[in-house]
Amino acid sequence: MNLPTEVRYRPYADWTDEEKTKIRENVAKSPWRASYHIEPETGLLNDPNGFSYFNGKFQLFYQSWPFGAAHGLKQWVHTETEDLVHFTETGVKLLPDHENDSHGAYSGSAYQIGDKLFIFYTGNVRDENWVRDPRQIGAWMDKDGKIEKFDKVLIKQPADATEHFRDPQIFDCKGQFYAIVGAQNHDKQGFIKLYKAVDNDVENWVEVGDLDFGDTGSEYMIECPNLVFVDGKPVLLYSPQGLDKAELDYDNIYPNTYKIFQDFDTEKPALVDGTPIINLDYGFEAYATQGFNTPDGRALIVSWIGLPDVDYPTDKYDYQGAMSLVKELSIKDGKLYQYPVEAITSLRASQEDFSEKTATTNTYELELNFEANTQTELVLFADQEGNGLSLTVDTENGKVILDRSKAGEQYATDFGTSRECTLEAGQTATANIFVDNSIVEIFFNKGEKVFTSRVFPSAEQTGIKVTSGNVSGHYFDLKY
């Protein structure tokens, strides 16, 4: 949604109760609100932020501009959860109310230190000529949700980076706090800076150097870098904007990617012996994935179901964006797997054998089995004519195609209407498919390959059809 700068950066206090009520009433008219995914109450939701464990609960903020489906004066909205499935908004917000974040609280991370949560984020500051000064800044949040910001800038824009310098992630490696920050150099190439906390004091950071992760520099910016450890192996998650498609086959405006490494040399600094760059998600919408290691060592991630610089059908209802399900990472045979946390099964209200359905609520899970050397087409959000979201699973040739060209309201068609990935040919395959009104998350072989997408169906598109081949499994009605 294109709104004038003076609207997008209008101070929060200037919005009247009448204007805010009108926005809420418009959001309520949407036919596409999700049931068991996080969506904004109003306005824009984009990056997941501050994903962490604190005070006996998991914490997750999302970046937000609450006055419409546009990127404006950003805040963080706080949610918490015990099971990583049922999230509650607490009313706590990290507001753009300090000289160091005057033009927006941009993305960042969080980590429990003592009895407080350390919040590390980018403050967006612009001068009278609209020149940006990106500041990596901090705050403490106590157990009552009170936030106290530091007056001191923790990391200033380095000389070798442009104004595109943001998204600090704090992590612990062998008892030492480090942080990585996404950046762009003066040749308009993306890179990552590594910092460490002096004497583990998170109010004092020094640069270690540019992180060597085998990158080519073909992208013009690296956003939202996150380093997590899976079975002891470092996994770098990142969003490289403008990546050369000769380096990675992708169709979305910007990809969301990862590399698995064997070791992390904090002195050089370098991530050692890495895989090639790999798509984290093969669907139409997954970006700015944030991950962290829990106190018991698990690696959890969550993604923004949305993309920058894309208009969505919900824009006309004054909101946009959602959070993905929380997924746990594992490595099997050198491959990264991602699958929803176990507690997701608590949403299963009823179970039946899978079969075609002429009408459903569009809030369900399918657990399906595809036989080896077969070709099957399944249509979700199907209407009586068989139009809807087409999923073709070809186990003979090891290929999956997701096509939304006949599913509801079309958008972002400049980037194509189908997505695909490969599976091992000649093998059986499974798929767990989570449908939530306008969101689809598909996990093949328990997370070997993942498709995350939005679909905005018409009122008649509520069925499930098998148009060719044969598939077995279960249908679960989901209740949040």
Give catalytic residues, as residue numbers: 47
Q: Residue 473 burial (CB < 10 Å; 0-12/13-18/19+)? A: middle
Residue 394, both tokens:
């070809």
HEC letters along 136-165: EEEEEECCCCCEEECCCCCECCCCCCCCCE
Residue recorded with tokens 């068989």: 386
DSSP code per residue over 69-123 = SS--S-EEEEEEESSSSS-EEEEEEE-S-STTSTT-EEEEEEEEETTEEEEEEEE
How far is residue 215's CA from residue 236's CA, in Å, rounded to a whole number?
Answer: 12
Give the pair of three-digit tokens for residue 54. 């604190």
CB atoms within 10 A of CB 144: 7
Give the distance between the most distant pair of CA atoms in the chain. Answer: 66
What is the rounded radius of gyration, in angstroms, for the C-alpha atoms of the chain? 22
Helices (H) and strands (E) in the chain, counts: 2, 35
Cα atoms found within 13 Å of the Cα of residue 425, Cβ hemisphere only: 3
The Cβ of residue 33 has, within 10 Å, a number of other Cβ atoms equal to: 17
Give the residue carrying structure tokens 């997954």: 286
DSSP string, 406-426: TSBS---GGG-SEEEEE--TT
Report the distance separating Cα 376 and Cα 423, nearest Å.
Answer: 14
Q: CA angle at residue 382 from 376 to 383, to 5 degrees? A: 135
Contact criterion met (CB below 8 Å) for 247 and 255: no
Distance between CA atoms of residues 291 and 278, nearest Å: 16
CA distance 36 to 397: 34
